[in-house]
Structure 1
């Protein structure tokens, strides 16, 4: 999915994650700005989310005092069919997005909606999809968005408004926290993957397991040639599958010819760079690649799910 496709939205329910306890938002009760944006903005008052009645449809007259500052907020984007496309709590590991507050030159776009927000607000904004793409993104509406309907929705929960200096310090702090979370999650997944791989080896009676840099491999037919060095071009016949046996790619699907690439320079997943570097020319082997050395939490297309361990049956055909 393209980055652009992961950035847009519609809804009728504000979720608990955005701080509104899942209460329903009736479509006919949306307010409407003079620029055409539909909105519902709530303020957390003594633990209760109350609908703000002071929103000026013509624009917030106090916004000029916030220009030049940074608004930190959690965001969700949804299609007109309410499909979730982006969530900062997930995509940014719980870190709020930082939105620069600039002088409004175009009305009716996302910037116009953000200008209505203040610390403590939780909101739903609904846009006409043609209008918001023309005004905020200056490009045609992607077909998948148009197919979903004529509207798109942004959900926002504002954390705070900061100066640029405060935002830079906050971003550094959040980045360090994200690294800690990522490291902890990677360790957890690696332990989980190891248990799955060990069970897979036992179930399939695979002997002679070795590891290199985190990638597991079993040599099924040793070669007699040299080991490849970083930067050398290798040619490989392969078949890739999930641990349930589902084949997602192979040399046969690519015309039966080996794939060629420079080893160790990031042209393939890390598990391939590590595993193939341990083999000699002519070797046939099974690579078992933990998810963190394959496609991780992203997955890859419709055939490789998130956090999937991958098996590759490979033959190192040539080293140049």
Structure 2
């Protein structure tokens, strides 16, 4: 069956072409081929990377695979042929822009493992292919092209992300004006207002904190809370949840970056409002139905308790909010871990 799956990436050039025609040549391994439209371009060599369009059919004209349906051509490096199933001996006979019809005997493909033969490829039948060679490259040329394409994609994604982040600014500005707020803005872009100062100690990175919170989108929708009355009033469905301050290591990447930064600015007992741009929240991914990609968020928080002592540091990627920190065995699952979720 392995050989069959190798063939599944190849195919037949035109859905309506008939293979009951003369003009086929037999390869040493038993494939039949007919170059129906020569391209007269550069010849394929072993080691080259070829780009080609394909479709694939059985003898009943049923389409089994198609690069056209996949939306992009196939690529493969031409290697010395190991079996009739790999079609490498046919590829090595072709040139740029050649259109070729190929018939591969299924008896050769399934020799020794007939139990893997599907019903649509009976004995004495053929797999029928059509291939059009679009491009021939050396491996270095193909790798350079791939690298350039990836770099272009990264550049385009970065430009889109910056455009979306810039589009957040008017909504944040309107929110602040509507609420008549005068926040402090940090270098990262976090905005915060201390609404009730606390008198306790400030947490240090990797201290453990206990926090009550209410999370809103800027249009006022409550998407999560550690407070039972708030969750009930907002209609949140969080069956089995214990409504109590959540406990986690601050600065350890267990929550979104805006929280890690903002909580380190507060004293124990403080209440504050955080206005968090998406780059310090859930960025391009968003979180569930309520938090769309590139959504700034609004949190009301209360730093209930600070417990001195080093928590477990995490990698820079985790601390930057790339992924959640691992949960210790037996620890309670925090309500806010990498993202504030609706439960």
TM-score by length of 1: 0.51
Name the larger-Rg structure: 2
Q: CA deviation at 1:224?
A: 2.0
- In 2, Cα distance between the equivalents of 1:186 and 1:292? 9
- In 1, Cα distance between the equivalents of 2:138 and 2:9? 27
State the 4+ residue runs in structure 1 displaced beyond 4 angstroms. Answer: 35-42, 51-56, 58-62, 64-73, 96-105, 158-164
Q: Where does the alignment leave 5 or more consecutive residues of structure 2 unmatched?
A: 25-30, 36-43, 54-69, 83-90, 98-132, 228-237, 308-343
Task: Name the CA shift for 1:71/1:307 in 2 (closer, same or farther; >3 Å).
Answer: farther
- How many equivalent pairs are there? 216
**SS state of the match for residue 317, structure 1?**
strand
Residue 235 (structure 1) aligns with:
210
Q: CA deviation at 1:227?
A: 2.6
Q: CA deviation at 1:167?
A: 4.2
Q: CA deviation at 1:37?
A: 9.7
- In 1, Cα distance between the equivalents of 2:221 and 2:166? 23
CA contact (8 A) 2:269 2:303 kept: yes
Task: Name the CA shift for 1:301/1:202 in 2 (closer, same or farther; >3 Å).
Answer: same
- In 1, Cα distance between the equivalents of 2:32 and 2:200? 72
Residue 305 (structure 2) aligns with:
318
- In 1, Cα distance between the equivalents of 2:248 and 2:73? 37
- In 1, Cα distance between the equivalents of 2:32 and 2:203? 64
Task: Name the CA shift for 1:193/1:70 in 2 (closer, same or farther; >3 Å).
Answer: farther
Q: Deviation per CA, 1:68-115, whole angstroms, max 9, x where unpaired?
A: 848699xxxxxxxxxxxxxx99xxxxxx9997669999xxxxxxxxx9
Task: Name the CA shift for 1:208/1:215 in 2 (closer, same or farther; >3 Å).
Answer: closer
Query: Does residue 292 of the first structure (1) align with residue 279 of the second (2)?
Result: yes
Query: Does residue 258 of the first structure (1) align with residue 233 of the second (2)?
Result: no
Q: Deviation per CA, 1:91-143, whole angstroms, max 9, x where unpaired?
A: xxxxx9997669999xxxxxxxxx9xx999xxxxxxxxxxxxxxxxxxxxxxx
Task: Kindly report which structure 2 residues correspond to 1:1-320, keeping only aligned pairs within 5 A, or say none.
Answer: 53=17, 69=49, 163-252=138-227, 253=238, 254-320=241-307
- In 2, Cα distance between the equivalents of 1:233 and 1:159? 60
**SS state of the match for residue 240, structure 1?**
strand
Q: Where does the alignment leave 5 or more consecutive residues of structure 1 unmatched?
A: 1-32, 43-50, 74-87, 90-95, 106-114, 121-157
Q: CA deviation at 1:316?
A: 1.6
CA RMSD, 1 decimal: 4.9
**SS state of the match for residue 244, structure 1?**
coil
- In 2, Cα distance between the equivalents of 1:69 and 1:214? 47
TM-score by length of 2: 0.48
Q: CA deviation at 1:200?
A: 0.3
CA contact (8 A) 2:48 2:136 kept: no
**SS state of the match for residue 186, structure 2?**
strand
